[in-house]
Amino acid sequence: MSHELSEQEIQRRQTLEQIRNAGIDPYPAALYPVTAYSTAIKNNFEEGKEVCLAGRLMSQRIMGKASFAEIQDAEGRIQVYFNRDEICPGEDKMLYNDLFKKWLDLGDFIGIKGTVFKTQVGEVSVHVKEFSLLSKSLKPLPLPKTDAEGKIHDAFTDPELRYRQRYVDLVVNPQVKDIFTKRTKLFNAMRQFFNDAGYMEVETPVLQAIPGGASARPFITHHNALDIPLYMRIANELYLKRLIVGGFDGVYEFSKNFRNEGMDRTHNPEFTAMEIYVSYKDYNWMMDFTERLLENCATAVNGTTEATFGAHNINFKAPYKRVTMRQSIIDFTGFDIDGKSEDELRAAALGMGIQVDETMGKGKLIDEIFGEKCEGNYIQPTFITDYPKEMSPLCKTHRDNPELTERFELMVCGKEVANAYSELNDPIDQRERFEEQLRLQEKGDDEAMFIDQDFLRALEYGMPPTSGLGIGMDRLIMYLTNNPSIQEVLFFPQMRPEKVVKVVLNENEQQLFDIVQKEQSMELAALKEKVTMSNKQWDTSIKTLTKNGLLKVMKTNDVLFVALV
């Protein structure tokens, strides 16, 4: 990336030279023997304890021969105290007067050896005996400041910059680090819960020849050696079920899924789902399992089952309410979907002011009614059960009602967090459901599922009764950390690529470009005659210009021409 350096960046490069000239390596190779962290020092105060710590220099308060500074390490910040005559006992005051006062910049990594003490105002600090530069920072950090009332000034808040330069966000905004610490705690707690239950973590393909297990538009890529298209997975469901067929009792996977759809504050093109499949269980068992799981995870992340999300207080304490989809629609619209035909459902939906069209089947219509009128009302964790068959092609038919499936979704704050089935294991039924999906596709539903023949073959060998559960991990962590947007819980959310920086031409390239610009187009040989540069210079210059799309070289009747693009 080539662009003009700011005044401060030039200054920092100059100090870098001064440091080198003074015989100090600004990027030393040796390890630094850290023995202490900022918060540990503050929490277990021991007067006079010798410590060695390292981190970024985040503030400097210089008062002549004494100074205070703040060091930020992985845990937080601590104040350190510098005294000139202790750091430089002899005549040479360079370390303090030059290195510390002039050459260090905010953001530099330094190492400190010293003793713990309390200042007159009672702040736990480290009295520096020795310090060294560990790594020089060449770009100034944005520096928010907190005043006496705890108000933050000059906060680094622009979402674009925060997401594009998450490393800066993390350095400067400590609450951002917390979110990601909690995210990892959630994953660890969930893993622990599954492992304790005796289930096995597995890995299944990300590149799939048939993107199955969900209905969504996939990303397409190409395998050169096989010369076939491959798809980034939209779900891992069908592979985990193959493993159940293979004889595992319980398998789970944290799966990065990819969907080529819109992006907004709850959708990112790549996101993380957790799927778990357990044999010889049904969806009733899975509801019990899910509520215990989430109670456990919420406690592991926040120390309590309660969580705040915007205006809502949610409690993940088990058990959760269970409502059938039929009952839910009765509750919020007074309409009973039981036994109704497609036309009756369409008319009812229209009557509720819901937009419908001819491609919508029964399942889709019910889904629309539920989504429009009911979903948003479930703030506390609630299981919605028994979905219509049409919208659940991988789910077992309900034991009491052939129109329905044994499926539940867990709603929290009006949004789906988890989705689970008694898995369909009847291979003939499964084949028919896939064919039904094909018919929907022909009707114009561009999200209907593809048919995976190998998956059907696996089912034909026999899959034990199984229940499966999928959890949207990003959405769950949003609830547990009170963040309304998915970008806040992903380290690097998808962004449009940054604008290409303008090409900066050097003298030779500029000279070439100017000549061609005047002529518009000319023979390559003639152009080379006109300029005075070595063959090598000529070669690299012309290559830079063509590579950046400024000039092009064409061959007409065996004569090379150079022209403007």
Give the footprint of RNA on residues 403-422 (CB under 7 A). Answer: 416, 419
Q: Which of 94, 155, 300, 330 binds RNA (CB under 7 A)?
A: 155
**Residue type at position 347:** A
Chosen residue from 85, 201, 306, 331 binding RNA by CB under 7 A: 85
Q: Where are the beta strands (DSSP E) in 363-489?
A: 382-385, 407-412, 415-422, 466-472
Among residues 23, 33, 89, 262, which is the contact residue for RNA, using CB under 7 A? 262
Binds RNA by CB under 7 A, chosen from 1, 29, 30, 63:
63
Q: Find where tokens 């590579």 sit.
A: 547
Residue with Cβ nearer RNA (83 or 135)? 83
Identity of the residue, 132 or 165, whose beta carbon is nearer to RNA in the bound complex:
165
The three-state (H, E, C) secondary structure of 473-490, written as one string: HHHHHHHHHCCCCHHHHC
Report how far residue 490's alpha carbon sits from residue 166's, in angstroms, rounded to the nearest whole number. Answer: 10
Residue with tokens 């959405």: 475
Distance, in Å, from the CA atom of 49 to the CA atom of 402, rounded to the nearest integer, reads 73
Answer yes or no whether residue 481 interacts with RNA by CB under 7 A. Answer: no
The single residue among 1, 7, 91, 311 that binds RNA, judged by CB under 7 A, is: 7
3-state secondary structure of 559: strand
Interface residue with RNA among 75, 105, 291, 386 (CB under 7 A) is 105
CB nearer to RNA: give 331 or 446.
446
State which of positions 352-391 bind RNA (CB under 7 A). Answer: 355, 391
Per-residue DSSP letter, 405: B
Residue 420 or 562 having the CB closest to RNA: 420
- Per CB under 7 A, the list member of 81, 194, 277, 316 interacting with RNA is 81
Residue among 102, 129, 166, 191 that touches RNA (CB under 7 A): 102
Tokens of 525: 């040989």
Instruction: Considering the complex, state which of residue 502 and residue 518 has its C-beta at the smaller distance from RNA.
Output: 502
Considering only the stretches 156-164, 294-302, 320-328, 534-542, report the one whose residues sit in contact with RNA under the rule CB under 7 A.
156-164
Distances from the Cα of 461 to the Cα of 238, 276, 280, 468, angstroms: 15, 21, 16, 19
Closer to RNA by CB, 8 or 192: give it.
Answer: 8
Burial category of 277 from C-beta neighbours within 10 Å (exposed 0-12, middle 13-18, buried 19 and up)? buried
What part of residues 430-469 is at the interface with RNA (CB under 7 A)? 447, 449
Site map (CB under 7 A) of RNA, residues 123-142, x = contact: x-x-x------------x-x
Residue 219 to residue 209: CA distance in whole angstroms: 12
> Considering CB under 7 A, how many residues would be counted as binding RNA?
75
Beta strands in 191-327 (DSSP E): 200-201, 207-208, 220-223, 228-232, 250-258, 270-279, 306-309, 312-315, 321-324
Q: How far is residue 214 from each of residues 237, 263, 452, measured CA to CA in Å?
A: 8, 18, 12
**CB nearer RNA, residue 150 or residue 462:** 150
Nearest approach, Cβ of residue 36 and RNA (Å): 18
Burial 162-178 (b: 16+ CB within 10 A, else e): bbbbbebbebbbeebee
Q: In this chain, which of 30, 48, 153, 196 binds RNA, going by CB under 7 A? A: 153
Radius of gyration of the chain (CA): 32
**Helix, strand, coil percentages in the chain from 3-state DSSP, rounded to 5:** 35, 25, 35
Based on the number of CB atoms within 10 Å of its own CB, is 82 exposed (0-12), middle (13-18) or buried (19 or more)? buried
From the list 37-45, 100-108, 378-386, 525-533, the region that binds RNA by CB under 7 A is 100-108
- By beta-carbon proximity to RNA, the closer residue of 247 and 549 is 549
Whole-number Cα distances in Å, 48 to 66, 125, 127: 19, 11, 9
Residues numbered 167-186 forming contacts with RNA, rule: CB under 7 A: none
Among 1, 29, 30, 148, binds RNA (CB under 7 A): 148
Under the criterion CB under 7 A, does residue 275 sit at the interface with RNA?
A: no
Stretch 107-126: interaction string toward RNA, x if CB under 7 A: ----------x-xxxxx-x-
Residue written as tokens 């503050």?
42
Among 17, 22, 25, 161, which residue interacts with RNA (rule: CB under 7 A)?
Answer: 161
Find, among 395, 393, 383, the residue nearest to 327 by Cα: 383
Interaction of residue 394 with RNA, rule CB under 7 A: yes
Asked if 158 touches RNA (CB under 7 A), the answer is yes
Taking the complex as a whole, how short is the minimal distance between the CB of residue 499 and RNA, in angstroms? 5
CA dihedral 498, 500, 502, 506 (to 10 degrees): 120
Contact between 502 and RNA by CB under 7 A: the answer reads yes
Shortest distance (Å) from residue 532 CB to RNA: 29
- The distance of closest approach from Cβ of residue 416 to RNA in the complex, given in angstroms and rounded to an integer, is 5
Six-digit token string for 369: 């009614």
Taking a C-beta distance cutoff of 8 angstroms, is the pair 516, 562 a contact?
A: yes
Q: Where does this chain touch RNA (CB under 7 A) — which range of 160-168, 173-181, 461-469, 515-523?
A: 160-168
